[in-house]
Every structure is written in C-alpha cells, then in structure tokens.
A and B are shown apart, each in its own frame.
Chain A
Amino acid sequence: DAGITQSPRHKVTETGTPVTLRCHQTENHRYMYWYRQDPGHGLRLIHYSYGVKDTDKGEVSDGYSVSRSKTEDFLLTLESATSSQTSVYFCAIRPGQDPQETQYFGPGTRLLVL
C-alpha cells in the first residue's frame, strides 16, 4: 500500500461546471501523475508533477489544469466539464528519483459528465 487516496471516488456533474479531483499521498514522494482510462485507449497521461509547483503536460492535457501547492496533494481541475471528459481518473506516484521506478496507483475516480 503506497498510501494513495483519491477523492471523490464517484462524481456526477453537468456540462459546463467546474470539477476538482484530489490525489493525496502520505509518503512525500516527489513524482505524481494524473491519468484517464477509457475503453479502447487504455491509460493516457494528463499531467504530472515533479515537485511542489512543478508540473508538466501529458498527452491529453487540453481542458485540464493541475496544482501542487504541497507535496502530499496533487489536484486535477476540469475548468468547464464536457461529456468527453467522462472517464475514470487515476492518480499515481513514483518513489525516488529513478525515472524507471515502479509506479503506484490510487483506486480511481469515476466521473460522469451529463
């Protein structure tokens, strides 16, 4: 157990509303990631962070923003949710400095945008 929690675990929202998902870790790991999982696409990287206030875009970052004001929390915000953002969102951490190290994933958040 890598001490990763995600909240909320399930959310239903309407098109055009803002949504924030939270990823919390208890072990002060430097690297944190947000992915979305969709049928036929597998896992796709949205954004990642390599330290407090240090973030970068992934493959599918359009429509998403992130913030990391403290080590333990990595927030993903959908500024104005669209139906195409209906998905399962996973947070992950990577211990240490080695880019080849194993990632550990949270339990996921199911988001439905109506």
Chain B
Amino acid sequence: GNSVTQMEGPVTLSEEAFLTINCTYTATGYPSLFWYVQYPGEGLQLLLKATKADDKGSNKGFEATYRKETTSFHLEKGSVQVSDSAVYFCALGDGLTFGKGTHLIIQP
C-alpha cells in the first residue's frame, strides 16, 4: 500500500541555518506530493506541492522537488527563521497517506 516516511524529530536548528527534512514515499502510480505545515494550536495548511516528476514546489522560501527515481520529496530552506518553528507533514495526494510529522524548533 501507499506510505510516507519522514524524520520525526524534533529537529532543532539555529536561526539562519540550512534546513532539510527528508521525505520518501511508496505509492502506486504517480500521485501529487504535498508538504503541509501546522503551527501551534492550528490545523494543517498547505506549504507547497508538486504534481508530477521533476516539478519543484516552492513557497515562503521553502522548496521541494518531486524525485521519481529516488521516490523522495525532501523539504529545504536556505535560512530558517524563528517563525518557521512548526510541525511539517509530507503527504501523498490521495488524501489518505500522511507522514508522522517533523517537529522543527528554531532557536534565536
């Protein structure tokens, strides 16, 4: 069946550090891939998405590229801020399959 694997954390970084959160998936076919972000006390909201192989999604300085050959969709940001502290979820486009979430903590 479909599945998503991501590092759970917590991941603690200093402000302005480079961020990578790994996400790999198994799926039948070629689903869209998503990164959602959850700020404290809130629901999930879309951060970025990619709909086909080699597509790059980007938003708020975050990027992720749909890599079919490595079945990956790693999230990156060049310089994180304290306001990026949140939980990040990688997900398939089937509405059914989410990673367990990565708790990111950015220290000033």
- Which positions in A face B, CB cutoff 8 Å? 31, 33, 40-45, 48, 58-59, 90, 92, 94, 99-108
Contacts and interface: CB of A to CB of B under 8 A. Distances in A.
B96 A90 contact: no
Contacts, number: 52
A54 to B, nearest CB: 15
Nearest to B98: A43
Interface of B: 8, 31-32, 34, 36, 42-46, 49, 51, 89, 93-96, 98-101
Contacts of A104: 45-46
A25 B89 CA distance: 23
A31 B94 CA distance: 12
Residue of B31, B32, B43 with most partner-chain A CB within 10 A = B43
A44 B4 CA distance: 12
A6 B47 CA distance: 22
Contacts of A33: 95
A102 B89 contact: no
B89 A99 contact: no
A31 B95 contact: yes
B95 A41 contact: no
Nearest to A88: B43
Nearest to A41: B100
Given A31-B95, A100-B32, A108-B42, 19 more contacts: A33-B95, A40-B8, A41-B100, A42-B98, A42-B101, A43-B44, A43-B89, A43-B98, A44-B98, A58-B96, A59-B96, A94-B95, A99-B93, A102-B34, A102-B49, A105-B43, A105-B44, A106-B43, A107-B42
Given A94-B95, A99-B94, A107 B43 contact: yes
A103 B93 CA distance: 9
A45 B96 CA distance: 6
B42 A103 contact: no
A41 B101 CA distance: 8
Contacts of B49: 102
